[in-house]
């Protein structure tokens, strides 16, 4: 059975110039730039409805018709459940936006949103017979890749900057990936992977260097739409490194609109957030440019934001512009205090990248780019406990547990 008969994918399409490529074999880039997966949306419209999807198991795979894996093939899965949309009223009021929700991606199998993209990328690589994979990572992507590669029985290699959070280092090695610390940034790690493709015969799973991580991340948008009754929020605030999630969500919303499933004509404003220690996207946005120049001497405690140059920069900036959104750089030295404040206010395990988003919301409400009446969704992309280096831990010690001065605790 051909893929066309067993799934709804029609072709792959170069994001830079629209060139069509076949979807029935593994693909990487076209002229150095990413690919879109395109679907027969008219056929999907005839075969499935939101009501049918609603009755399915609450996992990422409930959207099977809008995903690239053929219908009869088994996914490589760790049970990727739908993540909750948590009201954050107290935090929202403090930030000036009382209608705030946090979509908590920390509850996915590997503790971050990277489960979505790497689940799909490994599933499709396995479908095409790939035996060995490699990835550069500044944090959570490596652990997700290692876990799903182990699940699939693949050999995996991970290259990460030597100052990557220690939990990320450990989870890669624990899952059996051959894990290396690199004296450099994620771009240097990416060069190692690229230069080793022929010698090592591995498949490069770098952000946007294959077309399927977008499709996995796209499910954030599909879930969000379903959770809002297909009446989308006004603003989505998203921490942006490589940008796959923002790009994927914007793709999801456009596909849902083409299917006629949306209950609104208004699309959300997409807000990309970075630290002023590494802010190539806000700099390009402010200058009105479609492509971003690499950031020199990138440094931030939010490791997922430390991407000096993204191969999909123009896709991020296109989505922001089309949505009427913004790209915002926040002050690096405020991220950790904002993280502490958010966790203490709502009890949600906010990561540094999501904390940066709270600072962006504060800035955008101050100048009325986010209005008090706006329904705002902030993405918490990972669990706080994966960022030990960013969490202050100067705790007092009780030396004698039999002689506690309770009045002075």
Q: What is the residue-level pLDDT of the chain in tens, covering all 409 positions?
A: 344 447 899 999 999 999 999 999 999 999 999 999 999 999 999 999 999 999 999 999 999 999 999 988 999 999 999 999 999 999 999 999 999 999 999 999 999 999 999 999 999 999 999 999 999 998 899 999 999 999 999 999 999 999 999 999 999 999 999 999 999 999 999 999 999 999 999 999 999 999 999 999 999 999 999 999 999 999 999 999 999 999 999 999 999 999 999 999 999 999 999 999 999 999 999 999 999 999 999 999 999 999 999 999 999 999 999 999 999 999 999 999 999 999 999 999 999 999 999 999 999 999 999 999 999 999 999 999 999 888 888 888 999 999 999 998 8
In CATH, which of 3.40.50.11540, 3.90.79.10, 3.40.50.1100, 3.40.50.460 is domain 85-111+211-389?
A: 3.40.50.1100
pLDDT value at position 139?
86
Q: How large is the angle between the packed helices 114-127 and 212-227, nearest 10 degrees?
A: 130
pLDDT value at position 1?
34
Give the C-alpha distances (Å, rounded to integers) separating 180 from 138, 310, 331, 406: 12, 22, 31, 48
pLDDT value at position 2?
43
pLDDT value at position 391?
87
Nearest to 175 by CA among 194, 160, 190, 154: 154
CA 150 to chain centre: 21
Cα gap 187→182, rounded to integer Å: 10
pLDDT value at position 305?
95
Q: Which bin fits 235, alpha (ψ -120 to 50), beta or left (φ > 0)?
A: beta
pLDDT value at position 205?
96
Cα gap 78→95, rounded to integer Å: 36
Is the pTM higher than 0.85? The answer reads: yes
Helices (H), 209-279: 212-227, 244-259
Nearest to 360 by CA among 276, 291, 266: 276
| Residues near 131 by beta carbon (within 8 Å), at least 6 away in sequence | 154, 155
């Amino acid at each position: 059975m051909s893929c066309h008969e067993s799934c709804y994918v029609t072709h792959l399409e170069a994001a830079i110039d629209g060139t069509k490529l076949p979807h029935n074999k593994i693909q990487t880039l076209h002229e150095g730039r990413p690919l879109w997966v395109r679907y027969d949306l008219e056929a999907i419209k005839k075969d499935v409805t939101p009501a049918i999807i609603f009755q399915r198991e609450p996992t990422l795979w409930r959207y099977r018709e809008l995903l690239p894996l053929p219908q009869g093939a088994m996914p490589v899965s760790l049970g990727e459940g739908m993540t909750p949309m948590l009201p954050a009223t107290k935090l929202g009021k403090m930030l000036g936006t009382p209608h705030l929700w946090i979509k908590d991606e920390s509850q996915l199998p590997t503790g971050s949103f990277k489960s979505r993209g790497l689940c799909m990328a490994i599933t499709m690589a396995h479908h095409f017979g790939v035996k060995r994979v490699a990835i550069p990572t500044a944090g959570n992507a490596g652990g997700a890749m290692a876990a799903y590669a182990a699940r699939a029985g693949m050999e995996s290699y991970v290259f990460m900057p030597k100052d990557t959070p220690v939990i990320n280092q450990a989870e890669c090695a624990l899952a059996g990936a051959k894990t290396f610390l690199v004296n450099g940034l994620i771009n240097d790690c990416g060069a190692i992977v690229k230069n080793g493709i022929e010698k090592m015969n591995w498949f490069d799973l770098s952000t946007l260097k294959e077309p399927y991580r977008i499709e996995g991340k796209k499910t954030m948008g599909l879930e969000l739409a379903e959770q809002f009754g297909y009446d989308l929020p006004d603003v989505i605030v998203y921490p942006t490194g490589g940008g796959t999630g923002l790009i994927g969500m914007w793709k999801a919303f456009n596909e849902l609109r083409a299917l006629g499933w949306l209950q609104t004509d208004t699309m959300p404003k997409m807000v990309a957030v970075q630290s002023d220690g590494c802010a190539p996207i806000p700099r390009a946005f402010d200058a009105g440019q479609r492509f971003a120049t690499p950031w020199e001497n990138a440094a931030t405690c939010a490791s997922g934001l430390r991407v000096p140059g993204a191969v999909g920069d123009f896709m991020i900036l296109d989505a922001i512009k089309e949505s009427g959104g913004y790209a915002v750089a926040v002050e690096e030295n405020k991220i950790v205090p904002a993280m502490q404040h958010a966790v203490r206010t709502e009890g949600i395990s906010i990561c540094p990248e999501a904390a940066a988003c709270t600072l962006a919301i504060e800035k955008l409400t101050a100048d009325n780019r986010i209005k008090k009446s706006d329904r705002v969704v902030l993405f918490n992309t990972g669990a706080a406990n994966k960022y030990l280096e960013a969490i202050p831990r100067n705790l007092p010690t009780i030396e004698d547990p039999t002689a506690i001065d309770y009045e002075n605790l």
